[in-house]
Each structure stands twice: as structure tokens, then as C-alpha cells.
Amino acid sequence: MSLASALAELKASLAAGNEQFTTKHFRLLIEALESFTFGNFISFGAPEAVTIASGSVTVSQSFASVDTEAAAASDDLDSIIGGNEGALLMLRASSSSRDVVIRDVATSGGNIYLDGAASIPPAHAPDRILLPKNDVGDWLELCRSNNL
């Protein structure tokens, strides 16, 4: 059982008015904690491959490698679908030969807020951007790297 599903079941039980911790609740909590890695580093794991479709990508984990729609030479990323409040997302371009332009909400009308409301010029494979998700579904730039 994943950390998210174990915690969701615990929350549902509490929301239903069950305030007594049962053996099942302890088991769920132990399973949840066992799936969490404690250590000296935060690890995002291997990136999932996502492809821009009509200006958006859908993510299901904290690290994504973004490709252009139909392997176009350049494509705009305006919106990110997925994640929940407080999630951290690291993005990179999947190929240095295809440019992914991450556009600010002011330009695109999407849900990505970038520093200074300026779109990020073509992102190449070694570049990274880190975005936390806020409580209304927007992704906010925390930091970026330009490694060319």
C-alpha cells in the first residue's frame, strides 16, 4: 500500500467520526511509514516521460522529463495537470534537440507562475526547474538551473 493510500484511508476513518485507533489503523500507519524513505537526501527517483499535448502535461510523480508534442522542434508548456497541494515537481526537457518553453500564466493563461512573470526560454535536457503546487492548483517556480 502506498503512503498516499494509507494516509487517505486513515483520514477517511477520522472524517467518518472513528476516533479510536484500531489495530488496522496501526497497520496502515506502519505500512505508510515503511514506504517513506528517511535518509540524507531527498530523491525524486527516475523521471517519468511526459509529452506536451495542447500546451499541457499530466504528471503522476515528482520528476518528469518533458517532450514536445509530435517531436516538434519547439513546444510551449502552459499547464501542468496532476499532483496535489504541497507537491514538489522537478521538470527537465527530454532532449536537447527539442526546445520546451515553459510559459508563465500571464502569457499562457495556464497554471504555471514563473519568477518575474517571464517565460523560460527553451529548456534543454541538462536544465531543471522545481515547482511546488499551491492550494488552488497552481505551480509556482521555486528555482531553476540553466546548465548550458
String of DSSP letters for 71-84: G-SEEEE-EEE---
AA letter at 35: S
Per-domain boundaries in the chain? 3-34, 48-145
pTM of the model: 0.72
Question: What length does the chain have?
Answer: 148
- What's the pLDDT tens digit per position in 122-141? 667 788 999 999 999 999 99
CA-atom Rg of the chain in angstroms: 18
- What's the pLDDT tens digit per position in 26-54? 666 666 666 555 566 777 888 999 999 99
- What's the pLDDT tens digit per position in 3-32? 566 667 767 777 787 666 666 666 666 666
CATH code at 48-145: 2.60.120
Paired with 75 in beta bridges are 100
Give me the pLDDT at residue 34, please. 60
